[in-house]
């Protein structure tokens, strides 16, 4: 049964507990501005990556205070780097674009066109706050909304947050992807730790918003904590 005073279905220890409507919007707008940046490597560029790595690590470390995560994306077997991602505190999209444009990986011509989206994390973890379980794997799940899903999101909000609360220990970070103004919802981002890709797909597949058809596209990529912030 939904608590009439907690229409979003948030856990009692969640700072959003009891918030809805404008109060919930104000909560999100008051949070620090994060951007999720993901870029895949171009084909046959691993030698180029090796040559640019030291400069890339120096670039990341120069922004250490702003970065929550800065980690490689991997093939499913965990053996081959396929891209890079970070979650960074910057004021706006222009600053996020400047950060990735200045990355030596990008300067060397290694990166495909990056994906940049504003992100509001519902957890306070940063790199190193939680040691990875050596028996589990980490994944980034980008869940991108389809068109005209505002009512579907509203209808599944309580079930969505209840589900997230039931598996909160699987999340490294999770929260909404938003437009540059921080208002329009564009999707959800989940950084998760599970047994393998099948378990990652099951976790996202069991998400009520997935079942309701909110997400038009789901991209799941394996990742791990990198050495840049270690």
Q: For 129-158, how does the pLDDT look when each residue is reduced to its tens digit (9 = 90+)?
A: 888 999 999 999 999 999 999 999 989 988
26 and 38 part of one domain: no
Tokens 């060397």 belong to 108
Distance of alpha carbon 157 from alpha carbon 144, whole angstroms: 16
**Residue 3 forms part of a structural domain:** no
26 and 134 part of one domain: yes
pLDDT range class, residue 183, cuts 50, 70, 90:
confident
The rounded percent of the chain whose pLDDT value lies above 90 is: 70
Residue 112 has pLDDT above 80, yes or no: yes
81 and 144 part of one domain: no
Domain limit, last residue, from 90, 119, 148: 119
158 and 112 part of one domain: no
193 and 148 part of one domain: yes
**Residue 11 forms part of a structural domain:** no
135 and 218 part of one domain: yes
Distances (CA, A) of 92 to 9, 66, 107, 119: 30, 13, 21, 11
**Residue 1 forms part of a structural domain:** no
Domain of 41, in residue numbers: 34-119
**Residue 7 forms part of a structural domain:** no
Entry pTM: 0.88
Residue 88 has pLDDT above 90, yes or no: yes
Q: pLDDT by residue (tens digit) across 6-49? A: 555 566 766 667 766 666 666 666 666 799 999 999 999 999 99
162 and 107 part of one domain: no
Residue 69 has pLDDT above 90, yes or no: yes
136 and 218 part of one domain: yes
What is the SS3 string spanning 199-216?
A: HHHHHHHCCHHHHCCCEE
CATH number for the domain including 86?
3.30.70.1060
Distance of alpha carbon 29 from alpha carbon 85, whole angstroms: 23
As a whole number, mean pLDDT of residues 179-187 equals: 89
**Residue 15 forms part of a structural domain:** no
Domain limit, last residue, from 119, 153, 183: 119
**Residue 125 forms part of a structural domain:** no
214 and 103 part of one domain: no
**Residue 202 forms part of a structural domain:** yes
**Residue 13 forms part of a structural domain:** no
Residue 5 has pLDDT above 70, yes or no: no
Element spanning 178, H or E: strand 171-178
Residue 206 has pLDDT above 70, yes or no: yes
Domain limit, last residue, from 88, 119, 150: 119
Where do the H-state alpha helices sit in 39-91? 46-62
Report how many domains make up the chain.
2
State whether residue 154 is helix, strand or coil: helix
The pLDDT, as a whole number, for residue 15 is 65
81 and 106 part of one domain: yes
135 and 215 part of one domain: yes
């Amino acid at each position: 049964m939904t608590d009439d005073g907690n229409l979003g279905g948030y856990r009692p220890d969640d700072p959003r507990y009891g918030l809805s409507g404008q109060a919930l919007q104000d909560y999100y707008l008051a949070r620090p501005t994060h951007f999720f940046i993901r870029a895949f490597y171009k084909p046959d560029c691993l030698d180029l990556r090796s040559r640019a790595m030291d400069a890339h690590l120096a670039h990341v470390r120069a922004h250490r205070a702003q970065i929550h995560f800065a980690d490689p994306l991997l093939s499913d077997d965990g053996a081959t780097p396929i891209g890079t991602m970070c979650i960074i505190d910057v004021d706006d999209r222009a600053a996020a674009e400047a950060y990735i444009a200045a990355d030596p990986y990008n300067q060397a011509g290694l990166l495909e066109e990056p994906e940049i989206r504003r992100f509001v994390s519902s957890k306070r973890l940063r790199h190193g706050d939680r040691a990875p379980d050596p028996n589990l794997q980490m994944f980034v799940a980008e869940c991108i909304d389809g068109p005209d899903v505002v009512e579907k999101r509203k209808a599944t909000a309580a079930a969505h947050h209840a589900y997230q609360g039931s598996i909160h220990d699987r999340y490294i970070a999770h929260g909404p992807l938003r437009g540059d103004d921080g208002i329009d919802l564009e999707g959800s981002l989940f950084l998760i730790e599970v047994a393998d890709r099948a378990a990652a797909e099951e976790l996202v597949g069991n998400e009520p918003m997935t079942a309701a058809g909110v997400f038009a596209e789901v991209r799941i990529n394996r990742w791990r904590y990198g050495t840049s912030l270690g």
